[in-house]
């Protein structure tokens, strides 16, 4: 297992990049990822997740910067020399071998004793639910079963620097997906491997990872725990992309401790003297918005109520913009609900997409940008 340092990384597939737009990974990637943690790289299609993963695995040499595993510079080393295990989106199995032989392969390759190999193969087979299939040939198994073998093979060695997963559950059926995700988490807790998991699915990322690395347009817009991403999205994209539904983002002006939305005042509970004037938005998650039939708050019209089981998602229209509200299960919603209130604790102020510190937080030295 290793700590992974991404030092001043950037990548351009075109070579000789002339401007920032020519980079598929922008020159802002500078992180230390802790030994033994589980990281998820999360973001929409084309944001650079696989590019970053391939740089870490050694399949791609970055145009700029260095990668270190612990204190060793591995930038020029092959994947094999980096000692990483990889699981790809589609199964990679040896069809002529049995399930047992497939799982044992990485261990036998490195001279593991028969007793150790047997113990390890059986542990992993149980984890992927294939104990009863160990003697079957991989040929003829479903894509789903083959991918489980690939996952098992990726996790069978205990001595790897890191295990890298690139959308590994794409071909797995939905029920098994849930089970494997939970198993992966348990396995991580048990063995403490450094794991990096690429996905565009927030549920997968949030269940699996200790830390989620949210990417957009070749940049890491936030690296944080699931709770941090929920409570303090550093970019409007993070607020919007994570959550169900995501954060409401509304254009506003801010004066001291008050935001103004289309002439309506919204108390912020703390002052933002440095919010600036252009590109200002406020973000508030639906969990911090409540419906009201009083005179305070923003005037809205309820457009739809969705019962999603644990609570209700209420869609409202404020001056042509949809604002989502989460209401308790069983709440009775009617036309008399014609206002919404924001809990000041859940309101964030953004400038050009990036979070602005309140005066109090700025005085404490908070914020990263």
Q: Which residues bind ligand ATP (CB under 6 A)?
A: 13, 24, 43, 45-51, 200
Peptide bond into 73 cis (omega under 30): no
- Nearer Cβ to ligand ATP (51/358): 51
- List the strands of the sheet with 311-318, edge to edge: 301-307, 311-318, 321-328
- Nearer Cβ to ligand ATP (51/57): 51
Residues ≥6 apart with Cβ < 8 Å to 203: none
Closest distance to ligand ATP from the beta carbon of 214 (Å): 11
- Nearer Cβ to ligand ATP (39/100): 39
Closest distance to ligand ATP from the beta carbon of 25 (Å): 8
Closest distance to ligand ATP from the beta carbon of 14 (Å): 7
Closest distance to ligand ATP from the beta carbon of 216 (Å): 10
CA 260, chain centre distance (Å)? 32
- Nearer Cβ to ligand ATP (44/256): 44
- Nearer Cβ to ligand ATP (45/332): 45
Q: How many CA atoms lie within 13 A of 225 on its CB side?
A: 5
E-assigned strand segments in 202-329:
211-216, 219-224, 248-251, 253-255, 258-261, 264-267, 280-284, 289-292, 298-299, 301-307, 311-318, 321-328
Closest distance to ligand ATP from the beta carbon of 62 (Å): 12
- Nearer Cβ to ligand ATP (43/239): 43
Closest distance to ligand ATP from the beta carbon of 202 (Å): 13
- With contact defined as beta carbons under 8 Å apart, do 356 and 272 qualify? yes
**C-alpha pair distances (Å), 271 with each of 289, 296, 347, 348, 356:** 20, 21, 12, 11, 11
- Nearer Cβ to ligand ATP (49/211): 49
- Nearer Cβ to ligand ATP (46/262): 46
Closest distance to ligand ATP from the beta carbon of 167 (Å): 7
Q: Where are the alpha helices (DSSP H) in 255-337?
A: none
Q: Measuring CA to CA, which residue among 273, 288, 211 is closest to residue 243?
A: 288
d(CA 218, CA 27): 9
309 Rama sector, left if φ>0, alpha if ψ -120 to 50, beta otherwise: left
Any bridge partners for residue 323, and if so which?
316
Closest distance to ligand ATP from the beta carbon of 70 (Å): 26
């Amino acid at each position: 297992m290793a700590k992974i340092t991404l030092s001043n990384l950037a990548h351009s597939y075109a070579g000789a990049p002339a401007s920032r737009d020519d980079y598929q990974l922008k020159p802002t990637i500078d992180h230390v990822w802790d030994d033994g943690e589980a990281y998820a790289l999360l973001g929409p299609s084309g944001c650079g997740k696989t590019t970053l993963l391939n740089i870490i695995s050694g399949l791609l040499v970055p145009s700029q910067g260095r990668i270190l595993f612990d204190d060793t510079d591995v930038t020029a080393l092959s994947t094999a020399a980096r000692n990483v295990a990889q699981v790809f989106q589609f199964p990679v199995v040896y069809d002529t071998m049995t399930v047992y032989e497939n799982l044992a392969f990485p261990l036998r390759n490195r001279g593991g004793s028969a007793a150790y190999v047997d113990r390890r193969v059986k542990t992993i087979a149980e984890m992927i639910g294939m104990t009863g299939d160990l003697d079957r040939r991989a040929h003829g198994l479903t894509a789903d079963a083959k991918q489980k073998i690939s996952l098992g093979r990726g996790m069978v060695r205990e001595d790897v620097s890191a295990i890298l997963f690139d959308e590994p559950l794409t071909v797995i059926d939905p029920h098994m997906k849930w089970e494997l995700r939970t198993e992966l988490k348990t396995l991580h807790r048990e063995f403490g491997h450094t794991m990096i998991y690429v996905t565009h699915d927030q549920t997968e990322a949030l269940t699996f990872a200790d830390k989620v690395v949210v990417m957009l347009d070749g940049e890491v817009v936030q690296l944080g725990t699931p709770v941090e991403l929920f409570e303090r999205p550093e970019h409007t994209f993070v607020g919007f992309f994570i959550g169900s539904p995501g954060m409401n983002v509304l254009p506003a002006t801010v004066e001291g401790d008050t935001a103004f939305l289309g002439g309506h005042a919204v108390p912020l509970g703390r002052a933002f003297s440095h919010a600036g004037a252009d590109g200002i938005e406020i973000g508030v998650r639906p969990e911090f918005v409540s419906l009201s039939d009083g005179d305070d708050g923003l005037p809205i019209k309820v457009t739809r109520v969705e019962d999603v089981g644990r609570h209700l998602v209420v869609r409202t229209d404020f001056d042509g913009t949809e604002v989502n509200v989460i209401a308790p299960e069983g709440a009775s919603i009617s036309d008399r609900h014609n206002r919404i209130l924001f809990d000041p604790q859940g309101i964030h102020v953004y400038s050009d997409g990036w979070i602005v510190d309140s005066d109090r937080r700025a005085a404490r030295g908070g914020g990263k940008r």
